Amino acid sequence: MSFSLAGRHAFITGSTAGIGQAMARAVEAAGAVVLRHGRPGDTDPADTDVLEADLSEGLPHSARDLVRQVIERQPETDLLVCNAGTYLDDPFLELSFDTFDRTMRLNVFSPFVIVQEMARYWVDRKVGGRVVITGSINGRLSEPVHVAYDTSKGAVDALVRSLSVSLAPRGIRVNGVAPGLIRTPLTAPALEDPAVRRWMELHTPSGTVPEPDVCGGATVFLLSDAADHIHGQMLLVDGGMSVWQQPDPPAGWS
């Protein structure tokens, strides 16, 4: 039962598709009530458990207003997953400041504001909240044409550590999940190329590029009582990619 989230209430940003949607399903299956979030225009009007907000614009007010809506709709919220993020990049010499700034706003600044607002609410009410922030293997490994994304996810790594140090004494637990290459709406176009998919499978010790569901269990674990003494950690869900320096191409590889 230590992995159960029964009786808990969660809010998950960026949870109408991809990894966030898989997280929401897993958290709900573990017993929690889940309030989801999506960008305006990306949600089904019939979904009454979805809040809309564009977290890449209007900060800090847009994020603060979103938390206000969460509290009004679900005042019992004691679990928070900041998953909303994106990849927007160009080759470094052509990378515009606006693209870099938009990436940092959504991937770093919005979770900073959301966690701060939720933590203030929890501290006032002596709630032992639990937070998971979605990072990436790119917070530790770099790729060409990923300067903005890699920088933002490296900042998320540091944010998880720093928030943990600040909030653990308040009874609030902060950790992160860092996916490797996962098949999502953002990555699917590249993975449709068989050569690209084979190359990425070769660079992953497990030899797989999985569906987003693999991130659900890790999220449930970090939110659950089973992770009670785990603070400030970034759990990599990457099939071992981050620990393999460089695979040798097999004989006849092309």
* Model confidence pLDDT, tens digit, residues 86-137: 999 999 999 999 999 999 999 999 999 999 999 999 999 999 999 999 999 9
Cα 200 to Cα 33, 146, 186, 190, 246, distances in angstroms: 36, 16, 15, 11, 12
Residue 196 zone, left/alpha/beta (φ > 0; ψ -120 to 50; rest): alpha
Please provide residue 50's backbone torsions phi and psi, each rounded to the nearest 5 degrees.
Answer: -125, 130
Beta bridge partners of 10: 34, 79
pTM over 0.85: yes
Catalytic annotation, pick one of 149, 216, 220, 222: 149
110, two tokens: 């919005």
The span from the CA of 68 to the CA of 73, in Å, is 9
Q: Which residues of the chain have pLDDT under 70?
A: 1, 253-254
State the helix-helix crossing angle for 110-124 and 147-167, rounded to 10 degrees. 10
Give pLDDT, residue 254.
63
Count of H-run helices and E-run strands, the chain? 8, 7
Cα 12 to Cα 77, 233, 251, distances in angstroms: 10, 19, 45
Give pLDDT, residue 1.
60
Q: Please say if 121 is a catalytic residue.
A: no
* Amino acid letter for position 63: A
Domains of the chain plus CATH, in order, are: 9-182+212-238 (3.40.50.720)
The span from the CA of 227 to the CA of 251, in Å, is 43
